[in-house]
């Protein structure tokens, strides 16, 4: 088994995989505004900008700009933390919650269609392999 040759094939497939609708929807959920909305929703609706910066691995300046746009859309609010006025706390609004629920539902529909196309056996295999890879390699840099 030539792993280098297989790696070449995998690289080629990853490029093509990025154009599969289900993958595009999942990728959207892990970037930018959707990432922030998901992060807030999963953590009770609030977070500090520095936590968002760390999780997204972007600068605090980038987070500030992103939050400004999201505030203009009515998806989040920013206010001084009542525990520590030097800190700003970001809160998810009902409109932001509705937005991420809609986007998540769209992604789930696309992924469910993909898994249905694969059939039970291949769908379970795909999930098993991805879990194995994440368990072993997630967080490694």
In a domain, 1, yes or no: no
The residues, ordered by sequence, that sit 6+ positions from 110 with a Cβ below 8 Å of its Cβ are: 21, 22, 24, 25
In a domain, 8, yes or no: no
In a domain, 3, yes or no: no
How far is 124 from 107, CA to CA, in rounded Å?
18
In a domain, 67, yes or no: yes
In a domain, 10, yes or no: no
Parent domain of 90: 17-137
pLDDT of 15: 82
Q: Determine which helix (DSSP H) or strand (DSSP E) holds 65, and give its type and residue range.
A: helix 60-72
Mean pLDDT over 123-130 rounds to 93
pTM value? 0.77
In a domain, 5, yes or no: no
Mean pLDDT over 28-47 rounds to 92
pLDDT of 59: 93
pLDDT of 140: 62
* H helical segments located in 19-59: 21-29, 32-42, 49-56
List the CATH number of the domain containing 119. 1.10.10.10
Higher pLDDT, 85 or 97: 97
Q: What's the domain count of the chain?
A: 1
């Amino acid at each position: 088994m030539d792993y280098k040759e297989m790696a070449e094939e995998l690289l080629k497939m990853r490029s093509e995989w990025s154009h599969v609708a289900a993958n595009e929807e999942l990728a959207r959920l892990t970037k930018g505004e959707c990432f922030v909305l998901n992060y807030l929703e999963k953590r009770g609706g609030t977070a500090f900008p520095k936590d968002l910066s760390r999780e997204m691995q972007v600068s605090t300046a980038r987070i500030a700009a992103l939050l400004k746009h999201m505030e203009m859309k009515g998806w989040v609010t920013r206010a001084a933390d009542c525990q520590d006025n030097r800190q700003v706390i970001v809160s998810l609004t009902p409109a932001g919650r509705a937005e991420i629920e809609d986007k998540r539902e769209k992604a789930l529909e696309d992924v469910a269609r993909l898994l249905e196309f694969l059939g039970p056996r291949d769908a379970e295999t795909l999930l098993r392999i991805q879990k194995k890879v994440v368990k072993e390699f997630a967080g490694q840099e």
